[in-house]
Amino acid sequence: MAALKYSRQREAIKSYLCGREDHPTADMIYTSIRGDFPNISLGTVYRNLSLLVELGEIRKITTDGADRFDARITPHSHFICRNCGCVMDVMVPLNDPVPQVNQSWGHGEVEECRMEFYGICEQCKQSAKCS
Ligand code: ZN
Ligand code: MN
């Protein structure tokens, strides 16, 4: 890839993501970043997000709903609430299956394993009890 031109918008998107733990959607990023860049379009936000993912600077999390974005690129898993759609980090160290798979599988070299856990978050569990 050719050297990339510095982009204030891209930097702003990245630093917004770095300050969040909630894995925002492109829409959430767009809404927030529009305060500083009134002329930015949702398309530009999407393009910059794809580019950042391609550069390995952020991660895209595919869920049943909209894609979410994560500035934490160290290996970790996610818990996704089926009710409210919130996405939380799972930092429990899980045995990395990649070496085992690579020993026995033979379909190519696996580089990464991504895991998503689905369930009901604590907050949704609580509010279900109260109603
Ligand atoms: Zn929930
Ligand atoms: Mn995460």
> In whole angstroms, what is the distance from residue 34 CA to residue 44 CA?
11
Neighbours of ion ligand 2 (CB under 5 A): 70, 72, 89
pLDDT at residue number 81: 96
Ligand closest to CA 121: 1
CA of 82 from ligand 1 middle (Å) equals 7
CA of 4 from ligand 1 middle (Å) equals 39
pLDDT at residue number 100: 85
> In whole angstroms, what is the distance from residue 127 CA to residue 10 CA?
38
Give residue-wise pLDDT tens across range 69-123: 999 988 888 999 999 999 999 987 777 888 888 888 888 898 888 888 999 999 9
The percent of residues in the chain predicted with pLDDT above 90, rounded, is 65
The sign of the dihedral angle between the CA atoms of 45, 49, 50, 51 is positive
Class of domain 74-131: alpha beta
pLDDT at residue number 37: 94
Q: Where are the domains of the chain?
A: 1-73, 74-131
Give SS3 for 119: strand
CA of 81 from ligand 2 middle (Å) equals 14
Of residues 29 and 104, more confidence is placed in: 29
- Topology at the third CATH level for domain 1-73: Arc Repressor Mutant, subunit A (1.10.10)
Is residue 4's pLDDT more than 80?
A: no
Tell me the CA end-to-end span of the chain in Å, nearest whole number: 54
Q: Are both 1-73 and 74-131 of the same fold?
A: no
In terms of Cα–Cα distance, which of 63, 76, 90, 70 is closest to 14?
70
pTM over 0.85: no
β-bridge partners, 25 = 68
**How many other CB atoms sit within 10 Å of the CB of residue 69?**
25
pLDDT at residue number 3: 66
Please, are residues 87 and 117 in contact by the beta-carbon 8 Å criterion? no
pLDDT at residue number 2: 58
